[in-house]
Amino acid sequence: MEKTPVIIDCDPGHDDAMAILWTLASPELELKAVTTVAGNTSLEKVTDNAVKVLTKAKVYDIPVAKGAPEPLVRNLIVENGGTIFHGESGLGGPELPENGFDLQPMHAVDLMTRILEESDRPVTIIAIGPLTNLALLFRLRPDLKEKIAVISMMGGGAARGNWTPAAEYNIYADVEAAYVVFHSGVKIIMSGLDVTQKAYITKAENEILRAKNREIAVFVAELIDFFGVGHYEIEKFPGCTLHDPTAVAVLTHPEWFHMVECNVEIEMDGQFTKGMTVVDDKNYQENILGENVKKNAKVVFDVDREKYVEDFIEAMGRL
């Protein structure tokens, strides 16, 4: 089986860490690089966390490069909300190892450029943080868009936000970057809150994971212990939401998901709706307004949660 080459662009983050690990455990995927962007916490912290996660998995040969320390235009909004869910380090909970390897001596966009130029096959980008690095790539090297098979991203939502009532954090954190990416012409699979808030793992299921009694399985169970507190106590969810891993699973098991191809626009300036992903899944622009608009994303709305969680647990047990 020919593996799909992927780059993970991320801001670890508990769910980012789980997405990295699920990618490593997926025989369909070949992780070529990890790039980081300021998001859940500062660039220095998220980059350190990415290296620590790979070190924990005893993977020392995946290049890691740090990217944008702030959004394209606006101020960085790392603050209390990220701390509530992710802790001061961005990866609170389990004990983390010392870094087992060095960063690449280049910017994340340069590493992306190198991987794309050298690849003899289209590369998939798993984008699970703010979209700043990708926007920079498209501005600097628009010719490389054709080397990207698809962007599988976690962000946005048709029905709600989680940072404001209207906006999901990864989009809100760099609205201008999101606009650039959604208007890039590159294929997008958008796993937003509509699906990720259904992709949760319960406390009982987390104990099944812990009972695997393997180093990575226990590590991930401890990540979920910490990350789940905010989901239970603040958001009142029935489990810990596995946001970012959804962008991995939709690539390896699309049959678990319900997706709709539609037009998505980014609200740039609304007083109450800045950062909203305006998802036209009912084709109102075409059917009611008579406008010919491009369907620029496959938006994921639903998931077979039981299959998702079962495979996640088994994958973490394989590492």
Catalytic residues: 243
Cα distances (angstroms) measured from residue 2 to each of 7, 28, 29, 245? 16, 7, 9, 22
Report how far Cα 163 is from the mean position of its chain's Cα atoms: 16
Which residue shows structure tokens 């209207």? 166
Burial of 271 (0-12, 13-18, 19+ CB in 10 A): exposed
CA 75 to chain centre: 21
The rounded distance, in Å, linking the Cα atoms of 250 and 281 is: 19
User: Interior CA angle at 31 toward 225 and 105, to 5°?
Assistant: 95
> For residue 118, with 0-12 CB atoms within 10 Å meaning exposed, 13-18 middle and 19 or more buried, which class applies?
exposed
Name the residue with tokens 């606009």.
Answer: 179
Cα–Cα dist 309/304, whole Å: 9
Helices (H), 102-258: 108-118, 132-140, 169-172, 175-182, 193-196, 203-210, 215-233, 245-252
The residue with tokens 């740090």 is 66
Do 156 and 247 form a contact (C-beta atoms < 8 A)?
no
C-alpha torsion sign, points 222, 227, 233, 236: negative
CA distance 85 to 266: 25
